[in-house]
């Protein structure tokens, strides 16, 4: 089916970050196991990546697994690891073909070796692509990221006077990536859940009710249009 030409605002967010929430509820509504929801959620990613390319978004960050998610039941955690492993393997060539540069936000330690190896290869393969930068926050926590940055600075015997906001940003996993302009959390939940707590300081937020596996191109477009209606002030007073 031909897609309608999207009505994009003058300002399309350069960087969109998404808390992909609601997979479990999506499965429950259908009487399916939670992992079926996670599968549907990962399948949904493909259309969102394509839509981001279509709309001219340059950076997409997705929250796939938090440092707190390790506390879920063992079968859900191992199921999520297997899904991620499979999806990485299956989608990598296509992502590369589409010109997507993959980046990982979070710690590789703690993941099984086969997965670590796949992630390293994927980052290496796609590092020169520039159509869309896809940051995958996996085994990611915002507080963990800041602790990691502080430790790195201390190890390098950084002088206190040298520590600035710019410098801290450079020690985060998102080093070199502009802050998100728009953060979307699906499923109606309205909280940050340890996601980009430094970087989203001045992001605009939207909270669509749609559960992540059902969140498609039209919903993404609606979020971008909502962003276009916002007035970002960054603490200033704007003249009209």
Catalytic center residues: 21, 69
Phi, psi of 55 (to 5 degrees): -85, -5
Residue 135 touches ligand IPE, criterion: CB under 6 A = no
Q: Which residue stretch of 47-55, 112-120, 186-194, 215-223 sits at the interface with ligand IPE (rule: CB under 6 A)?
A: 186-194
**How many whole angstroms separate alpha carbon 185 and alpha carbon 220?**
11
Closest CA to 111 of 78, 64, 144, 148: 78
**How many whole angstroms separate alpha carbon 44 and alpha carbon 213?**
6
Residue 208, both tokens: 């669509």
Query: Pattern 13-42, binding to Mg ion, x per CB under 5 A?
Result: --------x---------------------
**How many whole angstroms separate alpha carbon 117 and alpha carbon 111?**
10
Comparison of 122 and 142: residue with beta carbon closer to Mg ion: 142
Q: Which residue stretch of 65-73, 91-99, 105-113, 229-237 sits at the interface with ligand IPE (rule: CB under 6 A)?
A: 65-73
8 Å CB contact between 179 and 199: yes
SS3 13: coil
Residue 153 touches ligand IPE, criterion: CB under 6 A = no
Closest CA to 110 of 170, 68, 63: 68
List the single partner that 64 binds among ligand IPE, Mg ion, none, CB under 5 to 8 Å by kind.
ligand IPE
List the single partner that 25 binds among Mg ion, ligand IPE, none, CB under 5 to 8 Å by kind.
ligand IPE
Residue 23 touches ligand IPE, criterion: CB under 6 A = yes
Q: Which of 14, 67, 69, 98 binds ligand IPE (CB under 6 A)?
A: 69
Site residues, ligand IPE (CB under 6 A):
19-25, 63-66, 69, 80, 187, 189, 191, 193
């Amino acid at each position: 089916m031909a897609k309608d030409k999207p009505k994009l605002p003058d300002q399309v967010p350069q960087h969109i970050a998404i808390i992909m929430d609601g997979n479990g509820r999506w499965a429950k509504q259908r009487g399916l196991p939670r992992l079926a929801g996670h599968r549907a959620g990962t399948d949904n990613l493909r259309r969102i990546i394509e839509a981001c390319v279509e709309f001219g978004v340059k950076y997409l960050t997705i929250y796939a697994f938090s440092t707190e998610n390790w506390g879920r039941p063992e079968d859900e955690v191992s199921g999520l690891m297997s899904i991620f492993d499979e999806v990485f393997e299956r989608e990598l060539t296509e992502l590369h073909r589409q010109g997507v540069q993959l980046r990982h936000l979070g710690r590789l330690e703690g993941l099984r070796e086969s997965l670590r190896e796949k992630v390293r290869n994927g980052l290496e393969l796609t590092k020169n692509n520039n159509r869309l930068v896809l940051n995958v926050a996996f085994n990611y926590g915002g507080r963990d990221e800041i602790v990691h940055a502080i430790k790195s600075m201390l190890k390098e015997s950084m002088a206190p006077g040298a520590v600035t906001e710019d410098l801290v940003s450079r020690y985060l996993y998102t080093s070199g990536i502009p802050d998100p302009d728009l953060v979307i959390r699906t499923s109606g939940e309205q909280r940050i859940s340890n996601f980009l707590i430094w970087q989203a300081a001045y992001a605009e937020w939207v909270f669509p009710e749609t559960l992540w596996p059902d969140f498609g191109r039209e919903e993404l477009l609606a979020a971008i249009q909502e962003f276009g209606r916002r007035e970002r002030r960054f603490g200033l007073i704007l003249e009209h």
